[in-house]
Amino acid sequence: MTKVLVIGAKGQLGQSFQYWAPHFPHFKFFFKDLPEFNLFDENQVEQFFNTTNINIVINCAAYTGVDSAEDEPQKAQKLNVEAIGSLCELSKNFGFKLIHYSTDYVFDGTANTPYREEHPPSPIGVYGKTKEEGETIMKTAGIDGWIIRTSWLFSLYGKNFVNTIFSLLQKKDEINVVNDQLGSPTYALDLADSTLRALDQNSIICGVQVYHFTNTGKTTWYGFADKIKQLTNISCNVHPVETSVYPTKAKRPKYSVLSCEKIKKEFNLNPRSWELALEDCLKKIK
C-alpha cells in the first residue's frame, strides 16, 4: 500500500484531499498540519519519517496572502521557499516523491495566450516571487516529484473568492468586482481528485516535472462573481469595475490563463468547466 503524507491538511486543498481519501483505498493517508507537524522542527519531522515509511508527500502548505505578503515578506519566504528546501532535503534523505503546488502568479500577466509550463516565470509581487523561488529550489534539488501550478483556487472550505462573494451577496444590495483580470477558476476538489488520479496511474516519477491544472474555460473576477449570483438567485447587484478603482497592495497579473494540455494528455484527465465546478461547490455550501 502506498503511504501518502498530506501537509497543510487544514487548508482548503488539504481538506479537499481528506474529502477524496476514502475513494482511494489503496493509498494510506496521513494528514498533518501545525502544531503537531512543523517542518521547521527537525526532531519532530525526522521522528515521523523514521517511524513511517512514506512514499509520497503532497505539500498543500503555503503562504497565500497575496497582499499581506507585501507587508510580511519574511513569513512568505519562510513558508514558500525555506519550507520547500526542507522538504527537498527530507525527500533526499527518506526517498519519498514530492508533489508541490505553485501558482499562476509566477507569471507577469502580459501574455495573451495560455501560459505553457515552459514559459519563463516573471513574477511581479512578493507572493509570486517566493513561489517561483520555491519552484527553482525543487527543480534543482535532484529529487523526484511534480510541481503543479494552479490558479484562482476555490472550494467550500475556508476563505476563498466563492465563500467571500457568496457571503457579500447575502449581506449587501450591490457590490463592485474587478472586470479586467482574466484567469481560470480551479475547484480544489477537482485539483485534489486529479492529482490522486494521476498518482494512481503513474507511480514512476523521475526528476521534477512541471504541470498546469485548472478547470476549463476562463473568466474575469466579475464574471466569476456574476455566475455565483446567477446560481444562487440572490438579488444583489454586481457591478464590473476596473482594477484602478479597487487598488491593492500587490499588483495582479492581468492575464493568467494556464495551458493544461500537458497534464490532460499525459494522465488522460478531462477537467470539467469552471462553471460546472462552481455549481457543484455552491450545492455543497448550501
Question: Which triple of cell numbers denotes residue 193?
Answer: 481528485
Please give the angle made by the CA atoms of 230, 177 and 241, to the nearest 5 degrees: 120
Rounded CA-CA distance 71/65 in Å is 10
- Across the strands, what pairs with 148? 101, 211
The DSSP string of 52-104 is: S--SEEEE------TTHHHH-HHHHHIIIIIHHHHHHHHHHHH--EEEEEEEG
Helix-strand-coil percent breakdown of the chain, rounded to 5?
A: 45, 20, 35
Which residues lie across from 239 on neighbouring strands? Answer: 176
Q: Are 154 and 219 in contact (CB under 8 A)?
A: no
Q: Which of 101, 105, 127, 157 is catalytic?
A: 127
101 a catalytic residue = no
DSSP 80: I
Dihedral pair phi/psi, residue 175, rounded to 5°: -140, 155
Helix axes 188-201, 12-20, angle to 10 degrees: 50
Q: Which residues are catalytic?
A: 127
